[in-house]
Structure formats: structure tokens, C-alpha cells
Structure 1
Amino acid sequence: MVLRELDTTREEGGGDHKQAARSSAVLHRDLSYDFLSLSQGEGNYLVLEDGRRIFDASGGASVGCLGWGNERVARAVMKQLMAIPYCSTVFYTTRAQEELCRFLVESTHGHMGRAYIVNSGSEAMEAAVKLARQYFLELSPSQNNRTRFISRRQSYHGITLGALAVGGHQYRRAKFEPILMKNVSKVSPCNPYRGKNPGETDQEYVDRLAKELDDEFQAVGPETVCAFIAEPVVGAALGCVPSVPGYFKAVQAVCRKYGALLILDEVMCGMGRTGTLHAWEQEGVAPDIQTFGKALGGGYQPVAGVLASREVVGVLERGSSVFVHGHTYQGHPAGCAGALEVQRIIREENLLENVRKMGELLSGRLQERLGAHPNVGNIRGRGLFWGIEFVADKATMEPFPVENHVAAAICERGLTKEYSISVYPGTGSADGIRGDHIIVSPAYNVHKDEIEWIVDTLGRLVDDFFGSA
């Protein structure tokens, strides 16, 4: 299939678009792009300043779990803002923070001991890395040499320097490699579409990956490793790739063997996105430290956080009792109030059941409509978290050239009036640089007819883009 020539407005000419972009005072992600201006959100729709409505089929970056304009959440945030908008956590706490953290701890079936609330997933990962290091310092003076981390290639754990260092997203790391910490090594991701050998069973694949992790511990010195870091379902870097059954039990066993911690990053895949409140509930393991964000507050306030196991918390409590870390806006009252109300709505309206039910429908319909498309290599995911990977050759899984910007171009075309659908683009799913995918992750309260519309519209968009209609 010959790929149609892409719209190069962003790179060449663009006239009025270029001029509009240059008139902005915002340091945007792309200084040459004229961004669409949002006016408001109504349910699952984003409304532009010109009145055009776009169906938000990804909740932004898998953030919008309740859709937009939820008055109940807005009232909870406003009530907190009027009561006390800020809390200096050096001296004070708030009921909003205490109740949110209690909810989060109790949601883990006794595994976790305390929660720590920040404002973004990157901040959460920074805190998790530092907590892991401090845990070993408090555990015993003999553990002082634990300074290393192991993560996976083609992973993404945040954009700040520490979070970027423990991630494996090559494009996002490239310009900053010289200033990233060097005490992180990488092993292979668990990606059966591209990682399994011909004829290899799931168990053989798990055994091979577990041995690779064990070998990496041995190579760097098992006594130097603080933790292994991974996403239960890989989000932006790979496009909604779940592990094969037994993988996380196997890697946790390796961590236990060498006394290292298991940190699970659920910033994108957690808080109900995959059908259970915590994605690890489906893996038969519980992490020592967990990060979460995005669907925690559903986009109504910037909020994310960290959960620490009772063992990790216990070591700090018996030691210094001080976590040497802090942010001016940690435990922000409005963020906590908004997140707590979002989670109450999810529970009261039994939305996790809807995630599972609508997820099955979305999965099946995507496979029916796009599974045989010559440029769709793989459709994968869990719950309402689905990725579609595009390829130049279905038989060989050959990705498109990087310069074609396929995923971005598909998403941009989807925003045009003809389709009016928003999905989330990603790259690097083939080898860290090449590989295009989009993420489909609608709100938890999505209905059957909306799922059907999403799939039909995506089918038409993909057919038209590749010229295969």
C-alpha cells in the first residue's frame, strides 16, 4: 500500500498558520504550529472557539475518565478553593488530603501503607526513585551501595531529568543524554507483538525475559540495585501493550531474589483505565512502590501521586520518620478534593464495570473493523486503553520511516471537520525511534453507541489516510 503524501503545512509554508503561531506568547510544544483553541468541554466533546465539536476518544493523554463539564467535581473543587486553596505541608494537612490518601490506601487490599500526593506523573516518579533510595539507607547502613535502577527499553516514566533517566524513550532522551544520571540500565520490554520468537510460548517468553533481568542484576552487581521499574500496561512509549500472563510474577521473583524493590508506574494505565482501579490487580502481584496520575483526577485539577507499601513505610517509621523530599504544592487541597470526588463517582456509578464491558466491545469492534487492514500491524490493550500500531508491511512488521510522521498525521487529520475525533499519537513502538501508534482511551462512562461511532470513524479515518477505502 502506497502511503499518500502527508499534509506538510507544519513543515512547509503554512502562511497564516505560521503567522498565528508566531504571534503567541506561549512557549508551546511546537513553536511553528497553530494550535486549536478550546472553548469548553461538554461530556465527551471538546468545543472549539469557533463552535466546532470534537469527540474526545482518548481523554487527552488518557486523562479524561469522566468526560468534561462534570458539575459535581467542579463543585467539590470550588468548595475546597473557598475553604482553603493552599496548604503549607511543612506544618499543616487538610481533610481533603487525608481522605484522598485514606481512600487510596484502602483501595489496595492492605498492600500499601501511605500515599503521597503531587501534581504530575513526572513528579510522582521523581518521588518514587528517591523513596526507593532512602528506603535502603533507612533499612541498614550496609545498603548504602544501592544506587542503581533497572528499567526497560521503549519505556516512558516522565519528562523531568530523574524520570527521563529511568525511562527508555529514545526521542525524548536524546537531547538530554549528557545530563541524565548514568546509574540506570535497561532490559527488553514485554511486547509479544515484536518481542516473541517464532513458535515461542508465553511461558518460554516470560522465562527468557526473567533470565535477561536476572542477568542484568548480575552484570551490574545485585547489591547495587534499588529497584526495577515498569508499567503494567505500557502507555505512550509502546501504545497500550500489556504483559503476557506471568511476566510480573516472574520479574518480582527476580527482584525478591536480590532484595530489590518493584516500582510499578501506573500514571497512564492506572486508576481504573484497564478495568481495575490498579492495573497490578490483574497481574497477581503488588508493587513495593506505585505511581499514579492522569485518571486520578480526570483532568479537573493537576494531581498525581505515589503509594508506598507497608514494608517501605514501616522502615521509614522505624528509622528517621522523615521522607527527605517535598514540593510547595504537594497535597494541594483543590487537587485532592477534585480527585477524591472523581474516585467517588467512579465507585458510586460502578464505572469500572462499564470500563470492562465497553472495553470488550471496543476491542472486538476494533479487531473487526481494522484488524485486517494492510497497514494495521497490531491492536492491543486492556479495559478502555487500546493501541493501534501502523506498519508499512503487515507481513514483515516493517514500520514507516520516521520522517513520515504517520501517527501524528493520522491524529491531525482526525481533528478536521470530516472526522472530528481526537485520539493520541505515539512513536517508537518498533525500535525506540521508528514505529507509529495511536491510543484510544475514552471516558469510563462511554456508551455502546459512542463506541460504535468511535470505531466507525476511526475505520474511515484510517482507510482514507492510507488510501485503501
Structure 2
Amino acid sequence: MGLISVEAPAAELRDIKSHNHDAMSRSAVLHRSIHENVKFPRLVGGKGNFLETDDGRRIFDASGGAAVACIGHGSPRVRDAVAKQMMQISYCASTFYSNDAYEELCRLLVASAHGHMAKAYVVNSGSEAMEAAMKLARQYYLEKNPAENQRTRFIARKQSYHGTTIGSLSMGGHKARRVKFEPMLVDNISHVSPCFPYRGQDGETDEQYVSRLAQELDDEFQRVGPETVCAFVAEPVVGAALGCVGSVPGYFQAMKAVCCKYGALLIMDEVMSGMGRTGTVHAWEQEGVVPDLQTIGKCLGGGYQPIAGVLVNNVIVQTLDRGSGAFMHGHTYQGHAVACAAALEIQRIIQEDGLINNCQRMGQLMGKLLHQALDSHPNVGSIRGRGLFWGVEFVLGKSTKEPFPVSDGVAMAICEMGMKRPYCIGVYPGTGTADGIRGDHIIVSPAYNIVTSDVEWIAKTLSALVSAYFSAKGS
């Protein structure tokens, strides 16, 4: 039944062939958009700051994808390091074995924290890193004092993004990302206001603003029961959810003080802002505090291999060492030898080539030129950032700060227009900037090894792109 007869009419055979041809021409990938009218350009190459598409475009990767490609594309050194590791050993089951790349990478990461961190735990993605940090925080209290087994809660911030697994999505406060899955999310996480000067600091001094946010956090500890909270979780510079928003001076010191008051941990999510992106190896170095746990990711491996991790401070490691001596967690591919070899070589390149210093210098120039190019545009509400991590927020009007309707899709439209000729620039779009649903921004986060002429071109091209988009839109 259902088989084609050998005597099938010619018309029927043509229909079958046509159906098979159409099926083969359609992508079998569950893309981020599966509508047939949405076509994803195929990348056929990448070298330095440029991506090459199958239709001949050379797109300047001014965002490093999602703030990932920190040394650019096609590094021979990383390629050779990966190949060498694959010739030695690719997969290492962490239940039984270790490998040199894993050991050396973790030593480098611990050393980069100036004595504040004792161990590193390497996984495959930022979401996995956040899940590990949550479980490690819980286990710390169980091993510190069994009487603290009531510590099961976390406090995070609204308009934050910490990952897309159930646990990490629950931690995040980005409404648009949560809405479809809200009934599935865990209910032991609550959210307080972010430190968002552009939209949250209403006529206050920095000291007044920090004091108000600290009191809000303190009130939340009291509301849920301070003895039930494992940690406060925050991004030192908020990436995808807000578009490169850093805190005002003294904010994290005040938040740390509230955590210490109630015996809770401070977890800093540096998956997007860490490993040099904001001008120091760790973003917390600019905040005057040290987290108890820190997640890292994107610029750890620079896109050459999937890799992320957790840095663990001395107190937590010592507590586990005196107790079970083991972290009750694990992944098949944790500490993957090839991924660690790639990340290790990338971190060596960053150190040897002085790319953190270059990130600082080029970041200062980037901020200056973006402000010069875009501050006067009526639909640019805010430009903010640190190092080579800059965000541009778009509004209906400067005075009201009113966001565009969600249906306008401003950020994505600018991104897609930018990929086309004559611009050929890649920027990263973000939404929900204003309230978790409404609001548009783009992120500019190029490789650490860019030069002055690159920064000048980025600012000039973005200015032309933004002007052309809003002129066509009629805003």
C-alpha cells in the first residue's frame, strides 16, 4: 500500500519527483526561524575579522557573533593546537581520566584570578556553567553545615539573561525569553531591579541609586527568608538582555555587603562580559569585589570550540574538601580535551599579543567614535559599554525614552540590513531592553586584535546604517 506502480502515469511520477526535489531544496535544520521565506546566508569561509558568504559577500564581524570571536576567525595557531590535541587524544572521560590541556587551562584560569579562585570547572556552554554554579552553591551549604539545608533559593535581577536550560532560564529575568516556558520554570528564584542608570536612575546621585537598590535586595532577602537564600546572581555588565549595561560605582560592593550580611554567596555571570571583553580579564576586577562563584564562556574559546566554565573560590573548595571531597554533578563532555586545547591556545594568544591592553585602548576609541557618530540621532537613546563591549539602544524619542513597538522588530531589522551591501557589517540584536518585552538595542563587540582603522570603519558604517534604516522607516 502506498507503493508506486511500475505503470504509474507520467503525471504522477512528475509529482513525486517534484515533491522529492522540493524536500531536498528545503533545509532540514531546525533554524531559529523555520519559515520558508527566511533564508540564512551560508558561510563558506572566515579569516580575521571577515566572514565570507556563499553569495560573495565579505561581512565585517563587528560583534564576533554573540560577542564570541575574540581573536577573529581562522587562526592557524588554534587550528594547529586543535589538530595536535586530536592526534594525541580527543575524548577523555572525566570519571576516570584527566588530560594535559584540561589541567593547563584550569591552572591558567585560576592564576588569572589573582589568588581569589582555587579551582575551575569546564563545561560546554554558558547555560551549563550557570546550572553548575547553582548546584555548587547549594552543595556548599549542605557541606558547610547540614543545618543550612533550607538554603534552596536564589535572587537574580530583572532583564537579565543567564542561559536557556530550565534552571538557567529560571535564573534569568528576561520576560520575553521566559514567557512560553513560565509554567515549567523553577519557583525558588526571585528577581530584583537591575542597575540600569539610563532607565532606572531617576534624578538620583549614584550613592542614592545604589542605596535604593541595596535596600531592595535587602528587602527581598527578608521577604523570602534570608536563611533560605544560596546566592545573589548578577552580570557585572549585562549583555544580551540590556545591551552592555554596566553598574554605577559602588553598586556591587553594596550588593556584596547585603549578601555577607545574610551569609549568602555572590555569583557573577561573566559568560558574555568576561575573559577580557570589558578591558580586564575578569569584569569583576573593575567592581572592587570578588565573587564566590563566577561563570565564564564566550571569549574563553573564542568560537573555535564549545566551552564554558565556573571559577570557584577558596572557601567553597576548602569546604568541599573537608566534606565529601566531590562535586555531585557532571557532564559527558566536561573538560573536553580538544575544546580545552583550543581555549588554552586562545588565552595564550591573548596574553602574548597584549590583546587585553588593546581591548582597553580600542574600546576607549570605540566609545568616543560611537558617541560622535550617533549621539545626535533622534532615535538613539543611549550608548554605553566598556572595553570592546558596546550597546546602542533605540527609542521613538530621546525625551520620552519610549521604546518601539515589538512588532516593528527594529534591532533585528537593523542587523539584517547591516549584513547586506553596501554595509556588510555584522552586529548583534537584542530586545526587551526597556521592560523585558519592549525595547531594542544592538551590540558591537569585535575581536580584541582590531586596529584604529577598523574602529573608525565600524563607527562610520554604523552611522550610515542607522541613518539609512530610520530614514527608510520614516521615524
TM-score normalised to the size of structure 2? 0.94
Output the amino acid matched with 1:107: S
Contact between 1:21 and 1:31, CA under 8 Å: does it hold in 2? no
Residue 130 (structure 1) aligned with residue 135 (structure 2) = yes
Distance 2:345 2:50 in 1: 21
Contact between 1:374 and 1:394, CA under 8 Å: does it hold in 2? yes
How much has 1:460 moved relative to structure 2?
0.1
Residue 373 (structure 1) aligned with residue 386 (structure 2) = no
Seen in structure 2, the aligned counterparts of structure 1 residues 256 and 71 have a Cα distance that, compared at 3 Å, is same
Output the amino acid matched with 2:293: I
Pairs aligned (count): 450
Residue 25 (structure 1) aligned with residue 28 (structure 2) = yes
Output the amino acid matched with 1:378: S
Identify the residue that residue 322 of structure 2 maps to in structure 1: 318
Output the amino acid matched with 1:295: C
Secondary structure in structure 2 of the residue aligned to 1:413: helix
Write out aligned runs for 1:3-402 (5 A): 23-32=26-35, 33-198=38-203, 200-402=204-406
Distance 1:417 1:53 in 2: 9
Identify the residue that residue 467 of structure 2 maps to in structure 1: 463
CA RMSD of aligned residues (A): 1.2
How much has 1:418 moved relative to structure 2?
1.4
Identify the residue that residue 406 of structure 1 maps to in structure 2: 410
Output the amino acid matched with 1:180: L
Seen in structure 2, the aligned counterparts of structure 1 residues 366 and 20 have a Cα distance that, compared at 3 Å, is farther
Output the amino acid matched with 2:104: E
Distance 1:434 1:175 in 2: 16
How much has 1:51 moved relative to structure 2?
2.3
Output the amino acid matched with 1:276: T
Output the amino acid matched with 2:34: L
**Higher-Rg member (1/2):** 2
How much has 1:20 moved relative to structure 2?
9.5
How much has 1:34 moved relative to structure 2?
1.1
Identify the residue that residue 456 of structure 2 maps to in structure 1: 452
Output the amino acid matched with 1:434: R
Contact between 1:358 and 1:383, CA under 8 Å: does it hold in 2? yes
Secondary structure in structure 2 of the residue aligned to 1:176: helix
Output the amino acid matched with 1:30: S
Distance 2:29 2:98 in 1: 34
Output the amino acid matched with 2:137: A
Distance 1:217 1:432 in 2: 23
Seen in structure 2, the aligned counterparts of structure 1 residues 21 and 388 have a Cα distance that, compared at 3 Å, is farther
Distance 1:203 1:344 in 2: 40
How much has 1:197 moved relative to structure 2?
1.3
Distance 2:86 2:266 in 1: 37
How much has 1:49 moved relative to structure 2?
1.5
The superposition leaves residues 256-313 of structure 1 with CA deviations (integer Å, 9 ceiling, x where unpaired) of 0000000000000000000000000000000000000000011000000000000011
Output the amino acid matched with 2:28: A
- Unaligned runs of 5+ residues in structure 2 are 1-21
- Unaligned runs of 5+ residues in structure 1 are 1-18
Secondary structure in structure 2 of the residue aligned to 1:175: helix
How much has 1:50 moved relative to structure 2?
2.3
Seen in structure 2, the aligned counterparts of structure 1 residues 22 and 28 have a Cα distance that, compared at 3 Å, is farther
Output the amino acid matched with 1:126: E
Distance 1:185 1:334 in 2: 38
Seen in structure 2, the aligned counterparts of structure 1 residues 20 and 355 have a Cα distance that, compared at 3 Å, is farther
